[in-house]
A and B are shown apart, each in its own frame.
Chain A
Amino acid sequence: MPLKTTIQYLLLAVAVLHALPLFASPVEIGFERFGTDDAIGVSPGLLLYNELKCAACHGDVSPTQSAFPEHKAPILDDVGARVRLDYLREFIAHPQQVKPGTMMPDVMADWGDGKRYEAADALAHFLASQGGPVADSGEKLTANGYKKGDDLFHSVGCVACHEPVRKAQAVESEDDFWDDSVETPEITLPSVPLPNFFNKTSPDALARFLLDPAAVRPGGRMPNMTLTEEEAREIAHWLIDNDNAEGVLPAKEPEIDPAKVTRGKELFQTLGCASCHELKGTTTSLVAPKLAGLDFAAKGCLAETTQKDIPWFDLNDAQRTALIAAGGTSETTKTDLINHTLLALNCYACHERNGLGGPEPGRAAYFAETEELDLGDEGRLPPTLTGVGGKLTPTWLEAILTNGGRVRPYMATRMPHFGPDNVVPLLEALLAVDKDPKPLAINVTGLEAHHRNRYGRELMGTEGLGCVSCHMLDGHKSLGIPAVDLAIVSERLQPAWFMSYMLDPNSLRPGTRMPTFFLERKSQGSELFGRNAAKQIEALWIYLRELKQTRLPIGMEKTDDYALTPVDHPLVHRTFMKDIGTHAIAVGFPEGIHFAFDAFGVRPAVVWRGEFIDAESAQANRFTPFVKPLGDSVVMLPPGPILASSAAGPWEKNDLRFTGYRLDASRTPIFGYRLGGVTVEESLRPTSNGKAFQRRLVFTGPSQTVFLRIGKGEQVEDSATYRLADVQIEIIAGPPAQAGPEDVGWVLPIEVTEAGTSIEQVISW
Chain B
Amino acid sequence: MVNRLKNFLGLSMDNLRSPLMGMWHSRLGCDLHRRDACATFLHRLVLRSVVLSMPTRRCLTVIPTNAGIQNGAAIHPCKRLDPRVREDDGLRSLLGRICCCVIVALTAPFASAETSPVYNLYPIPTPEGLSFEASALEVLPDGRVAVGLRKGEVWLIDGLYDNDPATTTFKKIAGALQEPLDLLYKDDGLYLVQRTELTHLRDTDGDDVIDVYRTVNNQWGVTGNYHEYAYGATPSKDGALWITLNITIGKMAYPEHGAWRGWGVKIWPDGRLEPMCAGMRSPCGLGTNLEGDVFYTDQQGNWVPAGSLHLLRKGAFYGHVDSLKSCDLPGSPIAKPEKVPAGIPLPQAKAEFPLLSLPAVWFPYKKVGMSTTDILCIENDEQLGPFKGQLLVGDFTTAAISRVYLEKVNGEYQGACFNFIDGFQSAVLRMDWGKDGSLLVGESNRGWNSYGTKSFGMDRVTWNGETPFEMQEMRLTPDGFILRFTKPVKAEAATNIGSYTLSSYTLMYHKNYGSPEIDTQAHAIQSATLSEDGMEVRLVTDPIRRYYIHEIHAEGVRSMDGEPLAHADGYYTANQLVVE
User: What chain B residues lie within 8 Å of A620 (beta carbons)?
Assistant: 131, 151, 446
B250 touches A660 (CB 8 A): no
Give which listed residue, A173, A510, A525, contacts B516 with CB less than 8 A. Answer: A510
B213 touches A182 (CB 8 A): no
A752 to B222, CA, bound (A): 33
B226 touches A622 (CB 8 A): yes
A518 to B250, CA, bound (A): 33
User: What chain A residues lie within 8 Å of B19 (beta carbons)?
Assistant: 530
Residue-wise, chain A 454-468 has the 8 Å CB interface mask toward B (1 for contact) of: 000000001111110
Give which listed residue, B150, B339, B447, contacts A479 with CB less than 8 A. Answer: B447
User: What chain B residues lie within 8 Å of A618 (beta carbons)?
Assistant: 151-152, 178-179
* A466-B445 in contact given A376-B301, A624-B226 (Cβ < 8 Å): yes
* A481-B511 in contact given A174-B255, A525-B452, A527-B453 (Cβ < 8 Å): no
A526 touches B453 (CB 8 A): yes
User: What chain A residues lie within 8 Å of B342 (beta carbons)?
Assistant: 182-185
User: What chain A residues lie within 8 Å of B171 (beta carbons)?
Assistant: none
A669 to B215, CA, bound (A): 13
A170 touches B511 (CB 8 A): yes
A555 touches B337 (CB 8 A): no
A504 touches B513 (CB 8 A): no
**Interface-forming stretch among A90-98, A275-283, A383-391, A572-580?**
A572-580
User: What chain B residues lie within 8 Å of A175 (beta carbons)?
Assistant: 255, 322, 325
- Residue B177, interface by CB 8 Å: yes
**A563-602 CB contacts (< 8 Å) to partner B:** 571-576, 581-583, 585, 599-600
User: What chain B residues lie within 8 Å of A361 (beta carbons)?
Assistant: 343
A519 touches B322 (CB 8 A): no
- Residue B454, interface by CB 8 Å: yes
Give which listed residue, A182, A511, A573, A615, contacts B514 with CB less than 8 A. Answer: A511
User: What chain B residues lie within 8 Å of A513 (beta carbons)?
Assistant: 370
A30 to B123, CA, bound (A): 58
* A619-B455 in contact given A178-B321, A372-B249, A520-B87 (Cβ < 8 Å): no
Give which listed residue, A373, A511, A615, A661, contacts B250 with CB less than 8 A. Answer: A373
- Residue B253, interface by CB 8 Å: yes
- Residue B110, interface by CB 8 Å: no
* A663-B211 in contact given A511-B516, A530-B19, A582-B224 (Cβ < 8 Å): yes
**Interface-forming stretch among B35-43, B76-84, B476-484?**
B76-84
Residue-wise, chain B 334-346 has the 8 Å CB interface mask toward A (1 for contact) of: 0011111111000
A506 to B215, CA, bound (A): 46
A313 CB, nearest partner CB in chain B, Å: 36
User: What chain A residues lie within 8 Å of B150 (beta carbons)?
Assistant: 619
Residue-wise, chain B 23-64 has the 8 Å CB interface mask toward A (1 for contact) of: 000000000000000000000000000000011100000000
- Residue A521, interface by CB 8 Å: yes
Q: How large is the interface on A (under 10, 10 to 19, 20 to 34, 35 or more residues)?
A: 35 or more
B64 CB, nearest partner CB in chain A, Å: 11
A582 touches B301 (CB 8 A): no
- Residue B472, interface by CB 8 Å: no
A583 touches B218 (CB 8 A): yes
User: What chain B residues lie within 8 Å of A364 (beta carbons)?
Assistant: 512
Give which listed residue, B177, B446, B513, contacts A377 with CB less than 8 A. Answer: B513
- Residue A371, interface by CB 8 Å: yes
A574 touches B83 (CB 8 A): no
A115 CB, nearest partner CB in chain B, Å: 52
**Interface-forming stretch among B189-197, B461-469, B571-579?**
B189-197
* A506-B366 in contact given A530-B21, A624-B224 (Cβ < 8 Å): yes
- Residue A171, interface by CB 8 Å: yes
User: What chain A residues lie within 8 Å of B152 (beta carbons)?
Assistant: 573-574, 618-619
- Residue B308, interface by CB 8 Å: no
- Residue B257, interface by CB 8 Å: yes
A129 to B310, CA, bound (A): 72
B350 CB, nearest partner CB in chain A, Å: 15
The 5 lowest CB-CB distance pairs between A and B, nearest first, are A372-B250, A376-B513, A469-B449, A572-B176, A660-B215
10 CB contacts below 8 A, A to B, read A181-B336, A181-B337, A181-B340, A463-B455, A515-B450, A516-B81, A520-B77, A524-B451, A581-B224, A626-B253
Q: Which B residues lie at the A interface, using CB under 8 A?
A: 19, 21, 54-56, 70, 74, 76-77, 79-81, 83, 86-87, 131, 150-152, 175-179, 194-197, 199-200, 204, 211-215, 218, 222-227, 247, 249-255, 257, 301-302, 321-322, 324-325, 336-343, 365-366, 370, 397-398, 445-455, 511-514, 516
Beyond A182-B321, A520-B77, 18 additional contacts (C-beta under 8 Å) are A172-B511, A174-B251, A183-B339, A372-B249, A374-B250, A376-B301, A462-B455, A467-B449, A480-B449, A524-B451, A525-B452, A571-B176, A572-B176, A575-B178, A600-B196, A662-B211, A663-B213, A669-B213
Q: Which A residues lie at the B interface, using CB under 8 A?
A: 170-175, 177-178, 181-185, 361, 364, 371-374, 376-377, 462-467, 469-470, 479-481, 503-504, 506-507, 510-511, 513, 515-522, 524-527, 530-531, 555, 571-576, 581-583, 585, 599-600, 615, 618-620, 622-624, 626, 658-663, 669, 672
